[in-house]
Structure 1
């Protein structure tokens, strides 16, 4: 059971909720903060104070006063008018993350919603009722208004949801779980949609996928090192300590462990004096991407516990301030940085693929073909990798450098953070497929070299991968292999695989 406080949610806890179906509850202290905040809103309505979004319209309509008897209608109108997202829905896991993050933000007690609103969010989460939320339509400032409005519709018994593997009307799923729809009251509609939870939820899922891929690149690169008989001295600890980047040294250390007992890697001068950059500079390039990933993780964990709606209520309602915490600039930058960092994994991987298939760059069969000329082997797989890498270059263009005014210039600078997070997700899928191609080629290369000479870890990796990806003995529809390899990289419990297959090596290393 994961307990939400509004202050302490971590990425590791979020992973348990998103991928391992951990149940979620709110802490007792957070409920107390929510109740005090709600009392302040009700006092504002009763006293007819002029407070944005509670007794006024929204955006350019902030100067239009709303009668007390119309505050519920105001919230109903807000959600329906703003629920205009378009395009394909976010992946279901992202929708699940939005529920989690919105509940956690509201539990901070600065938003003025009734406890029942948060209870409904948690009920949806624990019942695995996930709103269908179109991906396109958010500018990433004034919050993720359109996406979060589709989430809010479900609380009202409207819209559509994913439930038990099906897409259906929200009211149908709510009825099956005995969940009663809400009538939103003063401030509640605005509190639900004026936040960064769409871009942050997408960013959270991106980071979780990216972290696993970043670790897998090191194992795949280790296979390639063996397939190309790479020089192991490039990974010597002193080289990397001399530069001073922790992440670079950590990459080198992990690769040293993976290839420690390999009979395929070589020493300086044994076959050549030095390797090409795509082999020799793996720690430097991968390490720099890890630096970016660390930055992204830090920003996500701040934003996951942030109050991002407007206005915010402090001091039991004595201080209600219209600010700009809904502006997604921090996450927009983080997602743009993530895009570049992940695109680089594919860039260098594609160069390693070229070295595996190009007969002018190695002593392997041309294009790893079983019958060069009659059979093309991995020739066109390299084309596919090149195409994906080039597509990533377009997607990696920073979204955050763009802005466009909205709401009659009242909202005149926006972050485009949600676009950045969506493009980052596309890049990650492309990177996984490029790595799948490198994996297929590296498996074939080490097979030619003699798998009995592989390191213990890479041999275990080879054995597991070969259960899905057969040896290239005949040209076939390699698209199926690429997708199978990519799916396996996504689904495998990588942490468990490494713990199972590297702990023996630690013991061997310690005895030497």
Structure 2
């Protein structure tokens, strides 16, 4: 069980809930705090003007709401803002949003009835996931539209993911004997007025970006190995004098991966400890940058992932709605903790470094496929007849096109504010947009890495170097060849590409970052 409330929820906890079937449990002491917070707000708000309880919302906050209309106000808020469009969140994104919202509310400063947390917990544990649409949120009063769809499901309306398909919430609740959430005081506003959609999507992005980094380091290492690169550019001695943690970690990972390779060369043996007579060297003195500068290129990716993890975990463990209910000081504070700039900026940084990782992969792929550059492999690593067969030529177009798309998608959403809501929300974060675009960039990059991986396997078969490979390289070779045998004749590759891509996504082993 993952305990919710009191303990700091981590990206690792999200992984366990989303991908390993771990269940969640509300900490009793934290739940008591939630109840005390709600009881205080109910009593405190009777003779005072408290936003979202006895006032209208947004630019209509100047309108007083009578006591008999206050519950209806919350239902109206949920139903009116359940207006998203586009594709629904995949189930992992929906569940990540639910878990993020649950954890934020369990901080005990949102004035919400405990019934909402208990229902969210029940749905998570029974694998009933909210139907949340991608388009709609601007990330300023939180993810209003996305979280309105979550709230709509909690009150028993709309559709939910159930047994792999979208089904009427009413039908699912009836089948599972679940009672919909009742509005007590401000459940609509408390559920909607937060950053949980962008943060939940962001944490899923982080999980997959870590996988991309690990895969990229491995494929970069194999590329160096097959090209018989010198090992000094990922040596401890060279990288220790550059004081960046990420660079040193990537270099150390490449050393570890290639530790027992018989292909990687040591510079002294070839260029230092023998007399060189030729005027033009047959050996390259230094490799191309896409091979030689891997620690310097992927190091910033590593460092960015560490910072992204800290920002997202800070956000998911925060009270990120408005107003903030402080029952200990007996005060209600109005402000903007729902503003998503922290997450939006971090997602833009994440997609930028993932795009750079993708560009590195595409350049390494180009090196492998261009015989004039590598001088070791046939054009397009063609194992058939040159001229008649095409090898990896078709797949390279896909990699190039996909990399170009990532470059375009990497324009920052953080700088894309548009005033709306009668200019009440006059500067916004676009945080959920940023997170969803980052997800697209990550998915694209898995395609490019899968193509690079297939190319490397073809190169191994052409070079017939299996006995000299590092044991780590041999292990990956065996895994990929179990999915996609070596090919000589031309045939459609799109099914095999998706199988290799899925294998890379599902691999849980880590090398650089866990």
Same fold (TM over 0.5): yes
**SS, match of residue 167 in structure 1:** strand
| TM-score using structure 1 length | 0.95
Cα shift readout 1:184-212 (whole Å, capped 9, x = no counterpart): 12211000000001100100100001101
Match of 1:298 among 307, 310, 315: 310
Unaligned stretches of 5+ in structure 1? 500-512
Superposition deviation, residue 495 in structure 1:
4.0
2:40 is the counterpart of 1:26:
no
Aligned residues of 1:226 and 1:446 also touching (Cα < 8 A): no
**SS, match of residue 61 in structure 2:** helix
2:272 corresponds in structure 1 to none
The separation in 1 between residues aligned to 2:168 and 2:327, in whole angstroms, is 40
- 1:16-165 correspondence runs (5 A): 16-45=16-45, 47-165=46-164
Superposition deviation, residue 159 in structure 1:
0.8
The separation in 2 between residues aligned to 1:189 and 1:128, in whole angstroms, is 23
Aligned residues of 1:5 and 1:107 also touching (Cα < 8 A): yes
- 1:59-458 correspondence runs (5 A): 59-268=58-267, 271-316=283-328, 318-362=330-374, 363-370=376-383, 371-449=385-463, 450-458=465-473
**SS, match of residue 168 in structure 1:** strand
The separation in 1 between residues aligned to 2:158 and 2:90, in whole angstroms, is 16
Aligned residues of 1:71 and 1:185 also touching (Cα < 8 A): no
Superposition deviation, residue 41 in structure 1:
2.2
1:505 corresponds in structure 2 to none
Aligned residues of 2:214 and 2:510 also touching (Cα < 8 A): no
The separation in 2 between residues aligned to 1:138 and 1:186, in whole angstroms, is 24
Superposition deviation, residue 244 in structure 1:
1.1
**SS, match of residue 427 in structure 2:** coil
Aligned residues of 1:195 and 1:309 also touching (Cα < 8 A): yes
* CA 224–278 in structure 1, closer or farther in 2 if over 3 Å, else same: same
Aligned residues of 2:98 and 2:120 also touching (Cα < 8 A): yes
The separation in 2 between residues aligned to 1:227 and 1:473, in whole angstroms, is 20
**SS, match of residue 372 in structure 2:** coil
**SS, match of residue 63 in structure 1:** coil
* CA 84–317 in structure 1, closer or farther in 2 if over 3 Å, else same: farther
Aligned residues of 1:223 and 1:446 also touching (Cα < 8 A): no
1:503 corresponds in structure 2 to none
**SS, match of residue 345 in structure 2:** helix
Aligned residues of 2:341 and 2:414 also touching (Cα < 8 A): yes
2:273 corresponds in structure 1 to none
Aligned residues of 2:36 and 2:327 also touching (Cα < 8 A): no
Aligned residues of 1:40 and 1:317 also touching (Cα < 8 A): no
Unaligned stretches of 5+ in structure 2? 268-280
Match of 2:507 among 452, 477, 492: 492
The separation in 2 between residues aligned to 1:85 and 1:374, in whole angstroms, is 51
Aligned residues of 1:75 and 1:185 also touching (Cα < 8 A): no
The separation in 2 between residues aligned to 1:32 and 1:144, in whole angstroms, is 27
Superposition deviation, residue 74 in structure 1:
0.3
Superposition deviation, residue 183 in structure 1:
2.1
Aligned residues of 1:83 and 1:147 also touching (Cα < 8 A): yes
The separation in 2 between residues aligned to 1:368 and 1:445, in whole angstroms, is 6
Aligned residues of 1:228 and 1:445 also touching (Cα < 8 A): no
Superposition deviation, residue 317 in structure 1:
6.9
Match of 1:472 among 461, 472, 487: 487
Aligned-residue RMSD, C-alpha: 1.6
2:477 corresponds in structure 1 to 462
| TM-score using structure 2 length | 0.94
The separation in 2 between residues aligned to 1:313 and 1:10, in whole angstroms, is 25
**SS, match of residue 487 in structure 2:** coil
The separation in 2 between residues aligned to 1:19 and 1:267, in whole angstroms, is 42
Worse-matched range after superposition: 475-484 or 87-96? 475-484
| Residue correspondences, number | 498
Cα shift readout 1:68-121 (whole Å, capped 9, x = no counterpart): 111110001000001101000111101101111111111111101111111001
